[in-house]
Amino acid sequence: MSIEEGIKNKVILVTGGTGSFGNAVVERLLKLEPKQILVFSRDEKKQLDMANKFPDERIRFLIGDVRDKDRVTYIMKGVDLVFHASALKQVPHCEFFPIEAVLTNIIGAANVINAAVHHGVERVVVLSTDKAVYPINAMGMTKALMERVMIAVGREHHNGTMLCGTRYGNVMYTRGSVIPYFVELMKGGKPIKVTNPNMTRFMMSLQDSVDLVLYALTNGISGEIYVKKSPAATVKTLADAVVSLFDYKGGIEVIGTRPGEKVHETLISSEESVRVEDCGAYFKINPEVPGMDVKKYYFTPAEKPLLPPEGYTSSNTKQLSIEEMKNLLLTLPEIQEELSNRK
C-alpha cells in the first residue's frame, strides 16, 4: 500500500498534535487528501497558533489529555488512523517528576491504544525514542514500557487494529532541542554550552521523522518497531559546525554531563539485533513473540544478528565531519532563516 492510498479519505488522529512533530505531520498529511485530521492536545494557545498556521477546514482541534481514558475513548470514535506523539520528552523534567512521566508516557499511551482497539481503528503508530533502549532515565524507561504495551496488545490482534512503533534519536531544531538552544545563546552573546564534547547523537530532520512514521503506518505489522538509518555526530562536531556557520566568536563552554545522559545513544539493542530486517532506508525490529505461543518465546533459538554485537548505536553509525554537519544544518529551514536574518 502506498502512502497516498493509506491516507486518502481517512480520518486521522494526532495526539500531542501541536508539538513540533504534530505540526510537521499535519502539514504533510494535508497534501495527501485525508478526510479529516483531529489534533488532540492540552494547550489551547498552541491550537490557536496552529489553526492560524493551517486555516484548513479538514483540521479539527480537540482539547484533552491522553491521561483521561474517557476523553480518549470518546474522541477515538470514527477514527481510521492514529499517530500517537503525545509524551513528556524532557529528560530532566521526567527525572524530577517520574510519576508524571508514567501517567503520560505509559498510562496515556495505553489509553490511546486500548481506545483504538475498542473502536476498531485500522492502524496506530506510537512514537518512541532511542532513550527507550537500555534506558537509564525515567523518560527512557517510560517510553520502553510504552513500546511493551504496544507489542503486548498488538500480539493479540484485537479487533483487527494494527499497532506498530517507531524510534528515532535527536530530531534537529525541534522544540527544546539543543540546536535552537545554541542559537539563543549566540543571540545573547553567551558561550555555547555543551555537556560532554565526546558524546555522540543521531542526527535526523523533522521531515525524516515524518517519513519514518508514514512508512511505518503503511508497511507496519503489529508489534514491529521501525528505525531510520541515520548518521551521528559528536556534540563537539555539532557545536563547531554551528559556530562556523554563524561565524560566532563567543566560544564554547563545557559544563559536564548531566544526570540521566548517555555518552552514546542506541536505536537497536544487541538483543534486538537478531530480530532485525533491513528495509533499505529503515531497519525493522520484529517482536520477540509474533503470535500468542508463549512456548515459542522460551524455545526458539536466536538467529544470526544483522548488526554489530553492540546493536545500532550513535557510535557505530556513520560519523559526520564538521563540514558534513554544516551541510546537514543548512538543509533546515530554521537555520536558513536565522542566517538570513543576520545579513
Walk along the chain (343 residues) and give the pLDDT tens digit of each residue: 789 999 999 999 999 999 999 999 999 999 999 999 999 999 999 999 999 999 999 999 999 999 999 999 999 999 999 999 999 998 889 999 999 999 999 999 999 999 999 999 999 999 999 999 999 999 999 999 999 999 999 988 667 999 999 999 889 988 778 999 999 999 999 999 999 999 999 999 999 999 999 999 999 999 999 999 999 999 999 999 999 999 999 999 999 887 778 899 999 999 999 899 999 999 999 998 655 555 665 556 556 678 888 999 999 999 999 999 999 999 999 999 999 988 6
Cite the active site residues: 131
pLDDT for position 304: 65
Q: Which residue has the cell 494547550?
A: 43
pLDDT score, position 157: 67
Q: How far apart are CA 160 and CA 288, in angstroms?
A: 20
Largest CA-CA distance found in the chain, in angstroms, rounded:
66
CA atoms within 13 Å, Cβ hemisphere of 27: 14
Domain architecture of the chain: domains with CATH: 3-171+204-230+269-308 (3.40.50.720)
For residue 306, what are the CA distances in angstroms to 160, 221, 276?
Answer: 31, 20, 7
**Count of CA atoms in the C-beta half-sphere (13 A) of 334:** 18
How much is the pLDDT for 156? Answer: 81
The reported pLDDT for the residue numbered 295 is: 60
- Residue-level pLDDT at 296: 61
Angle ∠(247,253,258) on CA atoms, nearest 5: 130
* Residue 293: φ, ψ to 5°: -80, 100
Chain center to CA of 127: 5
Residue 6, C-alpha cell as written in the block: 493509506
User: Per this entry, what is the length of the chain?
Assistant: 343
Provide the CA 325 distance to its chain's centre, in angstroms. Answer: 21
Q: What SS3 class is residue 220?
A: coil
Q: Which residues pair with 164 in a beta bridge?
A: 125
Q: Grid coordinates 508524571 are at which residue?
A: 100
